[in-house]
Amino acid sequence: MRTAAMLFAFLLASSGSMAAGDAQRGARVFQACAACHSLEPERNLTGPSLAGVWGRKAGGLESFVRYSGALKNSGIVWNGKTLDAWAKDPEAVVPGNYMSFPGIKEERARADLLAFLEKASQPGSPLAGKPRALPSLKSAPPDNRVTAIRHCKDSYFVTSAAGKALAYWEFNLRFKTDSSASGPAPNAPVMVGQGMQGDRAQVVFSSPGEIAAFIKEGC
């Protein structure tokens, strides 16, 4: 009898705790999501911004253009129930979606995450944190600003604004674009990542059309 009562009390307590996750702890759980999702409106990373996600139609953020057809056509509206299922096992909820994330199996952690997300996804929520200022590539130091790239046979020769010239095997130099506000100015590409050291590097342009025009062929 006593055991049954204790069990009942335990069940009540655990279902109660499900409803009332701890937003503070949830903020830590959200770190698992933050690599791909911001809480700033319209600031999309690998995944769409989660600002305003509560009540949003799945795949419905206009500014995010990389949704899977599977998510867009799922008919899901995001609320406590659908988000809990998604956070537990995205592939089970929407097979073929593009979110490379295995899910959080621990119920308590999901309840905390949702308590956090419900608040932090509201417009202007202090829980969302301050917008993270990205280092702007427009103010890169001369060592990283690229003034010329020459291609000869299987190699690229890159000159920096500081006057350094570096040689790369063509397979080791990557070209990227960053059209966001923190990206480089037009025709002012910037080296990032390993910077001007080592045998490989990345050069970021403001748009794809600039890349071929910037690189001069010549030996």
Size of the site for ligand HEC (CB under 6 A): 28
Helical spans, DSSP H, in 76-193: 80-88, 90-93, 107-120
- Token digits of residue 210: 């600039």
The whole-angstrom separation of Cα 29 and Cα 190 is 34
Nearer CB in complex with ligand HEC: 47/183: 47
Residue 158 pairs in a beta bridge with 149, 166
Nearer CB in complex with ligand HEC: 81/200: 81
Q: Rounded to the nearest 5°, which phi and psi values hold at 191?
A: -85, 135
Please name the residue that has the structure tokens 């590409």: 189
- Judged by CB under 6 A, the chain residues 34 through 63 that form the site for ligand HEC are 35-37, 46-48, 53, 56, 58-61
Nearer CB in complex with ligand HEC: 53/203: 53
Could you tell me the sign of the dihedral formed by the alpha carbons of 51, 53, 55, 57, in that order?
Answer: positive
Residue type, 62: E
Nearer CB in complex with ligand HEC: 59/183: 59
Of 32, 109, 127, 185, the residue at the interface with ligand HEC (CB under 6 A) is 32
CA distance readout (Å), 2 to 10, 13, 88, 157? 12, 16, 34, 80
Of 39, 51, 71, 140, the residue at the interface with ligand HEC (CB under 6 A) is 71
Query: Of how many residues is the chain composed?
Result: 219
Of 23, 27, 93, 99, the residue at the interface with ligand HEC (CB under 6 A) is 99
Nearer CB in complex with ligand HEC: 58/158: 58
Of 27, 33, 93, 137, the residue at the interface with ligand HEC (CB under 6 A) is 33
Residue 97 lies near ligand HEC (rule: CB under 6 A):
yes
Residue 155 pairs in a beta bridge with 152, 169
CB of 18 to ligand HEC, least distance (A): 17
- Token digits of residue 189: 């590409």
Which residues form the interface with ligand HEC (CB under 6 A)?
Answer: 32-33, 35-37, 46-48, 53, 56, 58-61, 67-68, 70-71, 78, 83, 86-87, 97-101, 104
